[in-house]
Each structure stands twice: as structure tokens, then as C-alpha cells.
Amino acid sequence: MADLALGRLGANPIEAILNRLGFWTLTLLAASLVPTPARSLLGLSWPIRLRRMLGLFAFTYGTLHLLFYVGVDQGLDVALLAKDVAKRKFMTVGFAAWLTLVPLAVTSTDAWVRRLGFARWKRLHRLVYLAAILGVLHFVWRVKADLSRPLVHASVIGLLLAVRLLPARRARRASHPSAAA
Amino acid sequence: MRRFRPDVGERDVTPESLWLRRREFLALGAAGAAGLVLPRPARAGEPTGAALQIARRVEQAGGEDPTPWDSVTTYNNYYELGTEKGDPSRNAGTLRPRPWSVAIEGEVARPGTVGIDELLRWFPLEERVYRMRCVEAWSMVIPWVGFPLAALVKRVEPTSRAKYVAFRTLQDPEQLPGQRRAVLPWPYVEGLRIDEATHPLALIAVGLYGRVLPGQNGAPLRLVVPWKYGFKGAKSLVSIRFQKERPKTTWNEAQPSEYGFWANVNPDVDHPRWSQARERRIGEFFRRKTLPFNGYAAEVASLYTGMDLRREY
């Protein structure tokens, strides 16, 4: 963002901004997947306090990325967006990823956890896994030939999803019963 | 005196990390509002490099403003020097445009290898101001310096078996480190049908803005075909081969459903992943309509009469 004010975004600043917003969306989303395994595998509980904020930041950046594309890159041509989302695979999954995050953002508050009950809320928020996968596909399908950058996100997110299949560290759980929830 | 009751709770406190970055967030908002997403005005980015002697000037971009030197030389697609737009200008130092020779090969009466400095003496140099349209839907106006490809073709006397001309880029991972990864099937090859190669608009460019061509733009010589997408303009040429068969071109080999041999700029034929109807002229805020054959329809459309340009993309 300092780059923006300083004009260091290069010859095509609109493209540069769009790409950066997308990069941060996916990166923040990946970061929001870290606290849960950090607790279940490493016994760390402080990252959980950051989880909601990371998720909401990811949603914010995702919304900015979408709005920037529609509003700035394509000059508010909503008809064009509708056609694009239908026709271009990478945009379909990108838009679907954002849509998936909407209910998660809405229900991110404590009030909603209470309203849904923790078990249901937890099940709903597993949708973040779908959003992350769709986000990675969006990135992979967008690049022209060099897959190295989207594959970094793909591997990190893949790892963070796979790690949830590992058994939690029972020893920690047993000796710290108050760490539950 | 009433007891002070705060109406904000712990939860409403702005997270510290956000608070610490508040100026950036405000700047983003203000920038968006003030339209600072507009590209920075053309600085006095003076062209650098040795000056070339220019015999005549031809303006063929409808009088539109040329794209500033800074943009032309720092926003490049040259994957052999890195796949980000800023990579080629940063990494061009490894490319050595001297000594350099070009092999003229295949179905010609006068094949041979010519050193670049001798080749530069074969024809007087012209400045040609052309539009350049990338397949990614951005475009520029570039004042190239070079000589017509047609003049070269005439001089080397292709035989009647020469139906196509193939252009090959240098293959040397030491000079072009991007070739260490198989991002594309190196070496980069492009091609033209013989009537496209002899068309007056096709150019062999050796310079830009009156100066010697920078590495990131394809030093020491490259192909420029302004009515086709930019990827047809092969850079850092080492071979020009005349042949009977249509050459297998690199982007077509890498992604055949997206990049064809012909690659004529056509707003009615979309790339599978994005529309080709509009483009972003570098330096402008709003997109503009893409023109058939990049605005050169009057000069080149006749080369393709009878061809289904949707199929032959």
C-alpha cells in the first residue's frame, strides 16, 4: 500500500493492485487455517484469538479484489461480469469462493455462535475449506504458464487441510482439560 | 455527576495490528477516492543506450501518443528472463547482445550466417511507430527502429518451396536464466506465412525510441508484427528459417486451445479465459475497444480473405 502512494506499482497499476489484493486474500485465508491445527497438534491456544480476525481480513481483501475487478478494471460493467463468471472457469470458481465466504463472515460474531450453537457453527465454518480450495483453483487457472506461485499457495493450503486429518495430541488434552473449546 | 459508562466493549476495540497500520488503510481509501490508481504521469524517463541513425520516420499508430520509455522498458513479457512483468528489465544484464549472429537458413538461394553488425549495415533503419497488443489484453504504442522484414526476405531470395518463415530465439540458460525451468518448451519459436513475412508492416526491430534495443525488449533484434498479438514478436533472434511446413510455434505448443498460429488481433474471438473485446492501453485508466487486426485491417485483412478467423486463431 505504500507502493501505491509512491507510484511504484509499475506501468499497469490496476493489474498490480488486483493481483496483490488476490494474493493477500488467499494468503490471509491460509493463515486463518493455521490456528486450529496449532492448537490440536502443538497445544498452542493463543493463535485461536487471531483466527476470526484473519478470516474477516481475508473476506475483506476478497471483497476488495472482486469490487476492484468489477469497478475499476471493467468499469462497473456488471453485465460483463455476469457473462465472465458464467463463461470463464477461473472466474466461476473465484466468485464461488467469495460467495462461500459470505455466510462465514456474517456468522463470525459471538452472537451467531450462540444462535447456531457451537456444534452447528463449527460445521458451517468448515466451508472455509471449500473456499480455500476454490481460491487456489482460481489462482492456478488464472496464470498463463508459470505455475510456481499458485503452487506455493496450493501446497501450503493443502498441507493445512491435510494436517487436520492427523490425530490431536491426546497427552496435551488430558493434562489441560480447560483448553477445550 | 453521572457515572461514566463506556458504550464500547472489549470486543469493539480495534485490533492492535489494524490500528498500527491505520495510516495505510486510510491511504488506500483516500487513494481510491482521489483516483490515485491512475498510473503515474509520464516522468521524464529519458531513453538510454546508444543512439541509432534513422533514415526515415513512419507514423502508423493513428497519431496516438507513444507509451513512455519507462513503461515500454519495464513492463515486459520475456519469460526467458523471468515470468513477472518487472523481471526482464531486472534480469536483462545476463543477456549479451555482442557478439551475435543470425543464421538465415532453409529454402533460400543465399543462406548463411551474418554477424549482427554487418546485418545492421544491409538496410537503412527506419523509425516505425506501431500499436502493440498483447494477448493478455493490454497494449502500447511503440516507436520501433528497424528495417522491413520484406527487405531481408527479398535479399536472401527464398525458393518456391518457402511457404513459411520460422523465427527462433537464443537458447542459452546462462544468458537467459528463465530457460532453466520448463515454463515453456524452449527455445522460443514463432512463424509467419510467406505473404505475412513480405508484408510492408512486418518489421525486424533493432531499436526503440531511437536507441539500441534493450535486453528486456529482445536485444539485439526481434520480430514485430503489429496486427498480431505480441507473442508473435519473437525476441533475440538467432535463426530465420524458410521452410515448406508451418512451424510449430511455442505458445501454440504449450497451450493449443488458447494460442494459435495466426494470432491475429480479433475482438470477436475471445481467449478461452478472458474476453478480447477490450484492452487496457498502458497509461490509461479506462479500457478501450480492441480493433480488428489491431487497427491495421485496411492494410492486412486481404491476406486472410476466405479464412474462418474463428477457427484459424
pLDDT, one tens digit per residue, over A62-79 is 999 999 998 887 777 778
Q: State pLDDT tens for residues B155-172.
A: 999 999 999 999 999 999
At A149, which amino acid appears? R
Contact by Cβ (8 Å): B192, B243? no
pLDDT score for B185: 96
C-alpha A55: how far from chain center = 7
Phi-psi region of B259 (alpha: psi -120 to 50; beta: other; left: phi over 0): beta
Any CB–CB contact under 8 A between A86 and chain B?
A: no
Taking an 8 Å cut-off on Cβ atoms, the answer to whether A80 and B275 are in contact is: yes
Nearest to B75 by CA among A92, A8, A12: A12
The mean pLDDT value for B173-183 works out to 96
CATH number at residue B122: 3.90.420.10
pLDDT score for A82: 85
pLDDT score for B34: 46
Interface test mutation site (partner A, options B14, B24, B40, max chain A beta carbons within 10 A): B40
pLDDT score for B7: 61
pLDDT score for A58: 97
pLDDT score for B176: 97
Nearest to A61 by CA among A11, A117, A101: A101
Contact by Cβ (8 Å): A47, A62? no
The residue of chain B with its CA nearest to that of A16 is B85
| C-alpha cell recorded at residue A102 | 459470505
The mean pLDDT value for B191-200 works out to 98
Residue ranges per structural domain of chain A:
2-179
Nearest to B225 by CA among B260, B185, B265, B252: B265
Q: State pLDDT tens for residues A91-105.
A: 999 999 999 999 999
- Nearest CB to A10 within list B28, B31, B86: B86
* Distance in angstroms (rounded) separating the CA atoms of residues A65 and A53: 18
Residue B183 lies in a domain: yes
Nearby residues of B149 by Cβ (< 8 Å), 6 or more positions away = B197, B198, B202, B203, B204, B223
Residue B159 lies in a domain: yes
Nearest to A53 by CA among A31, A37, A74: A31
Q: State pLDDT tens for residues B2-56.
A: 555 556 666 666 666 666 666 655 655 554 544 444 544 444 578 999 999 999 9
Q: State pLDDT tens for residues B221-277.
A: 999 999 999 999 999 999 999 999 999 999 999 999 999 999 999 999 999 999 999
Which percentage of chain B shows pLDDT scores above 90? Answer: 83
pLDDT score for B35: 44
Which percentage of chain B shows pLDDT scores above 70? Answer: 86
Task: Mean pLDDT check: name the lowest of A153-157, A169-173, B96-100.
Answer: A169-173
pLDDT score for B247: 97
How, if at all, do strands B138-148 and B112-115 pair?
A: unpaired
The mean pLDDT value for B204-226 works out to 97
Any CB–CB contact under 8 A between A77 and chain B?
A: no
Residues of chain B in Cβ contact (below 8 Å) with chain A: 11, 15, 17-18, 24-25, 27-28, 31, 36-40, 67, 70-71, 74-75, 79, 83, 85-86, 136, 138, 181, 183-184, 254-255, 272-275, 280, 282-283, 285-287
Q: What is the ipTM of this complex?
A: 0.78
pLDDT score for B36: 45
The minimum CA-CA distance between A166 and chain B, rounded to whole Å, is 31
Write out the H or E segment, with its range, that includes residue A151.
helix A148-162
3-state secondary structure of B51: strand
Residue B34 lies in a domain: no
pLDDT score for A7: 62
pTM of the model: 0.83
By residue range, what is the domain housing residue B221? 50-304
Measured N-to-C along each axis, helices A148-162 and A127-142 cross at an angle, to the nearest 10 degrees, of 160
In whole numbers, what is the pLDDT of chain B averaged over residues? 90
Nearest to B240 by CA among B125, B149, B123: B149
The residue of chain B with its CA nearest to that of A52 is B15
Say how many domains are in chain B: 1
Please tell me what DSSP assigns to residue B290.
P
pLDDT value at B203 more than 60: yes
Give me the numbers of helices (H) and strands (E) for chain A, helices first please.
11, 0
pLDDT score for B301: 96
For cell 485496411, what's the residue?
A: B298
Taking an 8 Å cut-off on Cβ atoms, the answer to whether A74 and B287 are in contact is: yes
| C-alpha cell recorded at residue B26 | 486510510
- Nearest CB to B39 within list A13, A142, A148: A13
pLDDT score for A166: 80
pLDDT score for A1: 57
Contacts of A75 in chain B (CB under 8 A): 286-287
Measured CA distances, B40 to A11, A21, A35 (Å):
8, 20, 41
Nearest to A166 by CA among A39, A19, A31: A39
The mean pLDDT value for B285-309 works out to 95
Contacts of B86 in chain A (CB under 8 A): 10
C-alpha B300: how far from chain center = 19
Q: Which of residues 135-154 of A touch B (CB under 8 A)?
A: 141-142, 144-146, 148
